[in-house]
Amino acid sequence: MIPLRTIILSLGLTIATLVTYDVQGSGAAVNIGLLSTKKQTSVILTPLFGDYLVNFDDKEEYQLKNQDLLHLVMVDGKITAKTLSGHIGSFLSITISPLGSNGSLKLKPVIPYGKTRAYDDALKISVKDDVLQVINEVNIDKYVAGVIVSEVGLNTTFEYYKVQSIICRTFALSNFRRHEEEDFQLCDKVHCQVYGGRCGAEDIATGAKLKGPGDILDAALQTSGLVLIDTAIELINASFHSNCGGQTVNSEFVWTEAKTYLKSVNDPYCLNQKQAKWQKTIPKIKWLNYLERVYAYPVNDKKMKKQALSFTQKYRLEYFNNYKAIKLIAIRKDWRLRSTFFSVKESGNNIILSGRGFGHGVGLCQEGAMRMADLGRPYKEILHYYYKDASLIDIASLRYLLK
Ligand SMILES: [Zn+2]
Ligand SMILES: [Zn+2]
């Protein structure tokens, strides 16, 4: 058994995360930066459901009810606030939080114009470099559900949503300090995880529960607090990709760091799925010129030339043709290939790249995991299949270790 002291010493990063996260079980909130690349100077807010309390510079209060709206515009370094009943004043910060335990707001970007989205829980708006900084302070499980709607969509199984909930939560918490200097924890872009706002689990008009979004929110709530950790009790890098083509990749093939839980596994589950195969045809001369020009590959050597035109990968390799100067990830990038898991064969004046899978191939294969879930495999088994020696833990129990 590992002595408790050792466990606590090894908690370094995790402790830092917990301090910021302030674990309160499912009640924990995260701050997500919205519209952060937009230079937003005008927005309109309307309650979608629930009544809201608006605080202006932590002093004045205003109740924002159904049918009402709040129009915020940047004027001379301050936020001018107007409602349907008139002008309220100019302020530096505005907090809008639900009066009850739940609430959701519609946010319409006016200048620049953007798509209206809905956000659960609270919005905090302040001035930063003469533009509006908009932050959604939202329950982490609702955030996780919102991410899944954007990153996975509505057409998979409940068990798979549990898998993805744990991955998204682990990813969010392990990247909690990415935007520390901007006063929020994660952005809503691909840089962190794409978050398009509220996962609407019920029909707004009738209140009836919707199948897809309802399942996503339930899966996030049922796995609330669960995260993946490695043997050093650090949150793992829960990377995933669309389809591995039948074998996942060691993390050091793609990035520099080897991780014990990101080791290659054989994956028969994704072989017949949508993204399992691809092909690309390239003129032979272009291919050889590329290898010679960029990597000084000896195309005038008869044997080497032949091998460059008949490269095969029965299993995942790190280098093209065993030629150490050429990493397969570099070829993937240069030719915008769907994966590094490809073979080369000649066809007249061309070569044909026959590829398998889509994405970097490290960690969990989404199409394989979805297939496993379809076959009735429980979420724990699916996670352990791809992240071999990672453990599932309730983040609240990590806090218990610290007491
Ligand atoms: Zn980010
Ligand atoms: Zn796979």
Element (H, E) at 161: helix 158-174
Element (H, E) at 162: helix 158-174
- Does the pLDDT value for residue 13 go beyond 50? no
Confidence bin at 203 (pLDDT 50/70/90): confident
- What residues flank ion ligand 2 with Cβ within 5 A? 244, 267, 270, 365, 368
- Does the pLDDT value for residue 72 go beyond 70? yes
Residue-wise DSSP of 277-313: EEEEEEEHHHHHHHHHHHH---TTSHHHHHHHTS---
Given the structure tokens 């009943």, which residue do they identify?
A: 85
pLDDT, tens digit, 9 for 90 and up, residues 252-275: 999 989 999 999 999 999 999 999
Query: Which pLDDT belongs to residue 20?
Result: 45
| Ligand nearest to the Cα of 37, by number | 1
* Residue 355 contacts residue 367 (beta carbons within 8 Å): no
How many angstroms separate the alpha carbon of residue 19 from the centre of ligand 1?
A: 20
Q: What is the Cα–Cα distance from 57 to 92, expressed in whole angstroms?
A: 6
* Residue 121 contacts residue 140 (beta carbons within 8 Å): no
Angle formed at CA 220 by CA 219 and CA 223, multiple of 5 degrees: 85
* Residue 133 contacts residue 120 (beta carbons within 8 Å): no
Cβ-based neighbour number of residue 347 at 10 Å = 10
How many angstroms separate the alpha carbon of residue 238 from the centre of ligand 2?
A: 15
* Residue 238 contacts residue 219 (beta carbons within 8 Å): no
pLDDT, tens digit, 9 for 90 and up, residues 110-140: 999 999 999 999 999 999 999 999 999 999 9
How many angstroms separate the alpha carbon of residue 117 from the centre of ligand 2?
A: 33
How many angstroms separate the alpha carbon of residue 183 from the centre of ligand 1?
A: 12
Query: Which pLDDT belongs to residue 19?
Result: 42
How many angstroms separate the alpha carbon of residue 185 from the centre of ligand 1?
A: 8
Confidence bin at 401 (pLDDT 50/70/90): low
Q: What is the Cα–Cα distance from 118 to 170, expressed in whole angstroms?
A: 24
How many angstroms separate the alpha carbon of residue 357 from the centre of ligand 2?
A: 7
Query: Which pLDDT belongs to residue 67?
Result: 84
Backbone CA torsion sign across 157, 158, 161, 163: negative
Question: Which tokens belong to 218?
Answer: 């339930």
